[in-house]
Amino acid sequence: MQRFRNRTDAGETLAERVAALGLADPVVLALPRGGVPVAAPVAKKLNAPLDLILVRKIGAPGNPEFAAGAVADGPKPQVVWNDSVLNGLGIGEDDLQETYEHELETLKTRREIYLKGRARVPLAGRDVVVVDDGIATGATLRAALQAVSVQGPRQVVLAVPIAPQDAEPRFAQMVDRFVCLSTPAVFYAVGQGYDDFAQTSDAEVIACLDANRN
């Protein structure tokens, strides 16, 4: 299994693989917070703008950590529901409307904090590289990819340092290309691929974005 010193080290290695794809007019989108220091070296290598795709979990009633769905920001925010959870709880999407609206407002607030009012980078007709620090369940990532796809990109590349071996087939219908540096035979957590997997702070996110302004 390939290991990385930290997220920046992973991003620098990932950047080499993504650059070899020969993308046309690329845009790099990071999932905050951990995906941002991975995406920053990719954007630098591609000489591409770095933007965010923000996603929030929609928690189940009485158990906010139990994801009943996820919502991703964008010109047309996208929501992905976990039907098995909804069915198991005996609830419908309408029962979570208030939670959905709250999380959507939180996304708007986070974007303002991180990007300080900067306009979204247009995705239509461009090669879009979606970057995170790894894939675990992939629930929030599915919402992110759906939010990207409705904006009319030329193609979508999903690029991560580490993921379980079944990740590529799980996302095959949502992306045009999948780049992953490490798919360990025994996968238990994204952090197993990193020597330093400390939580990324808001300050680090803002610093990466400010350093990569185009």
* In-domain check, residue 30: yes
The residue that leads in pLDDT, 137 or 182, is 182
Q: Verify that 48 and 59 share a domain, yes or no.
A: no
The answer, yes or no, to whether residue 136 has pLDDT greater than 90, is no
* In-domain check, residue 66: yes
The band of 214, judged by pLDDT with boundaries at 50, 70 and 90, is low
The band of 137, judged by pLDDT with boundaries at 50, 70 and 90, is confident
pLDDT per residue over 174-191, tens digit each?
Answer: 999 999 999 999 999 999
Domain that holds residue 65: 55-115
* In-domain check, residue 160: yes
Q: How long, in residues, is the chain?
A: 214
* In-domain check, residue 100: yes
The band of 140, judged by pLDDT with boundaries at 50, 70 and 90, is confident
Q: Verify that 36 and 142 share a domain, yes or no.
A: yes
* In-domain check, residue 1: no
Q: How far apart are CA 11 and CA 38, in angstroms?
A: 4
CATH assignment at residue 135: 3.40.50.2020
The answer, yes or no, to whether residue 22 has pLDDT greater than 80, is yes
CA dihedral (16, 120, 75, 18) in degrees, to 10, reads 0
Q: Verify that 135 and 200 share a domain, yes or no.
A: yes
The answer, yes or no, to whether residue 21 has pLDDT greater than 90, is yes
CATH assignment at residue 61: 3.30.1310
pLDDT at 84: 87
Q: What is the mean pLDDT of the chain?
A: 94
pLDDT at 160: 98
pLDDT per residue over 87-112, tens digit each?
Answer: 999 999 999 999 999 999 999 999 99
The answer, yes or no, to whether residue 47 has pLDDT greater than 90, is yes
At which of 73, 91, 115 does a domain end? 115
* In-domain check, residue 2: no
Largest CA distance in the chain: 49
Q: How far apart are CA 6 and CA 16, in angstroms?
A: 16
Q: Verify that 126 and 111 share a domain, yes or no.
A: no
**Quick one: average pLDDT of 36-62?**
95
The structural domain count of the chain equals: 2
Q: Verify that 174 and 141 share a domain, yes or no.
A: yes
**Quick one: average pLDDT of 26-36?**
97
**Quick one: average pLDDT of 107-128?**
95
Percent pLDDT > 70 in the chain is: 100
Q: How far apart are CA 21 and CA 49, in angstroms?
A: 17
Q: Verify that 129 and 27 share a domain, yes or no.
A: yes
Residue given tokens 């303002």 in the structure block: 112
Q: Which of 211, 30, 213, 44 is nearest to 119 (CA)?
A: 213
Q: Verify that 123 and 109 share a domain, yes or no.
A: no
